Amino acid sequence: MSKEILKAKEWLHGADHICVVGHESPDGDAVGSVLGMTWALRTIGKKVSSSLPDDVPANFSFLPGSEDITSDIPLDADMLVSVDSADLNRLGVLVEKLAAPIDINIDHHISNSRFAIINLVDSETAATAEYLVGLLSLLGLSMNDKVATCLLTGLVTDTLGFRTSSTRSETLSAAHQLMQYDVSLHDIYHRTLHRRSYEATKLWGQALGNVCFEDGLVWTQVTLEGKADIGYTARGDADVVSQLTAIEGTEVAVVFVERVNSEVKISWRSLNGIDVADVARSFGGGGHQAAAGASIYGTNLERAQDVVLDRTREAMHNYRIQLTS
């Protein structure tokens, strides 16, 4: 066992009030890992608080403890644990509420900036939840039905139902371990990946109706006007980008989401080896080789599309040259 893990175990067992934090625009792995870690720490009798900088999306509100998540850092917390955040800025509004550095950073992003005092990062794992399944016992923490429900949600969502290229035999072993508890894979899958609102379905209709395809590059957009037309009030793109990757011949898919105050949010997915995180970084964003995002401010949809599509085409071109040379 690594020295870092031993030190983390010692620190966690010695703490009085632990606050577990996750990243902005929380996804299933962020919510699931924050709550899974919260419940696991309670198995050793700790006082634990859970914090996220943004609201928990409605499809994760079934998770036990989600109603107790706040966007505050309790003043008497003497230990801060971050899960699923690749860097400190991902903690959004929580950053300015931090009175001390993050003690323990548990994550699976290869780009993790190791911003805490103790950094436990395993970029081989498909989700922070997968990493936690193996880590809990090393940290002297136990699993129970609540921990398992939360972690299985992280695992299912980050792997899109065990179908991303990051899914390994170890991922399925972790799921197997979690399913020994009173959890419903079917229910988690349906609530988090399959079910969607009528408005989100209409949004898909708009976005898919406007899809463009050019030499392996697929893109579309979600506009403020379009959202208003159908009464879609959520912030995201209803995961349109994943639908684009289903289009035959797609190498890279891009979705542009227009937001208020001249912000355009961009999501990339790569189906071959092109590193879209690299493209995203050139716009101040980040992510994984196969899935990345960025926001451009002070622009409009048309200008953002021009510059982002050009940069993406360039990356695709360079990748093809590299393949043939």
Q: Are 218 and 247 in contact (CB under 8 A)?
A: yes
Alpha carbon 87 to its chain's center:
12
Return all residues near 198 (Cβ < 8 A) that are at least 6 apart.
Answer: none
Nearer to Mn ion, 127 or 296 (CB): 127
Q: Are 107 and 44 in contact, with CB atoms under 8 Å apart?
A: no
Q: How far is the CB of 13 from Mn ion (least distance, A)?
A: 26
Least distance from Mn ion to the Cβ atom of residue 249, Å: 28
- Would you count residue 237 as binding Mn ion (CB under 5 A)? no
* Number of other residues whose CB lies within 10 A of the CB of residue 81: 28
3-class DSSP state of 74 = coil
Q: Closer to Mn ion at the Cβ: 158 or 278?
A: 158
Minimum distance of Mn ion from residue 127's CB (angstroms):
5
Output 113 or 197, the one with its CB closest to Mn ion: 113
Q: Let me know: does 156 contact 28? Beta carbons within 8 Å.
A: yes
Q: Give the span between the Cα atoms of 167 and 243, in whole angstroms.
A: 19
Residue number, 118 or 151, with CB nearest to Mn ion: 151
Within the chain, residue ranges assigned H as helices are: 3-14, 28-42, 128-138, 145-158, 169-178, 185-189, 198-209, 224-230, 240-244, 276-281, 301-324
Residues 101-140 that bind Mn ion (CB under 5 A): 127-128
Q: Compute the least distance from the CB of residue 190 to Mn ion, in Å.
A: 21
Sign of CA dihedral 135, 141, 142, 143: negative
Mask 293-312, x = binds Mn ion (CB under 5 A)?
--------------------
Q: Show contacts with Mn ion in window 52-71 (CB under 5 A).
A: none
In the complex with Mn ion, the residue whose CB is nearer, 59 or 128, is 128
Residue with smaller CB distance to Mn ion, 155 or 203: 155
C-alpha–C-alpha distance, residues 152 and 169, integer Å: 15
Residue nearest to Mn ion (CB): 29
- Report if residue 251 touches Mn ion, rule: CB under 5 A: no
Asked if 84 interacts with Mn ion (CB under 5 A), we say: yes
For the chain, the residue count is 325
- Minimum CB separation of residue 11 from Mn ion in Å reads 23
Taking the complex as a whole, how short is the minimal distance between the CB of residue 86 and Mn ion, in angstroms? Answer: 9
Using the rule CB under 5 A, give the single segment among 155-163, 168-176, 193-201, 305-313 that binds Mn ion. 155-163
Choice between 220 and 270, CB closer to Mn ion: 270
The partner residues of 222 in beta bridges, in order of sequence, read 257
Instruction: Output the smallest distance, CB 186 to Mn ion, in A.
Output: 22
* Least distance (Å) between residue 240 CB and Mn ion: 20
Token pair 């964003």: residue: 285
> Which among 251, 245, 240, 288 has a CA at the least distance from the CA of 127?
288
Residue choice 42, 94, 125, 158 for contact with Mn ion (CB under 5 A): 158
Task: State the minimum distance, in angstroms, from the CB of residue 273 to Mn ion.
Answer: 21
Contact with Mn ion (CB under 5 A) among 21, 22, 28, 29: 29
| Contact assessment for residue 80 and residue 98, using Cβ atoms and an 8 Å cutoff | yes
Which residue's entry shows tokens 């923490």? Answer: 141
Count residues contacting Mn ion (CB under 5 A)? 5
Helix (H, G, I), strand (E, B) or coil at 57: coil
Part in contact with Mn ion (CB under 5 A); list of ranges 29-37, 215-223, 251-259, 297-305: 29-37
Give the residue with the Cβ less far from Mn ion, 29 or 237: 29
Q: Which residues bind Mn ion (CB under 5 A)?
A: 29, 84, 127-128, 158
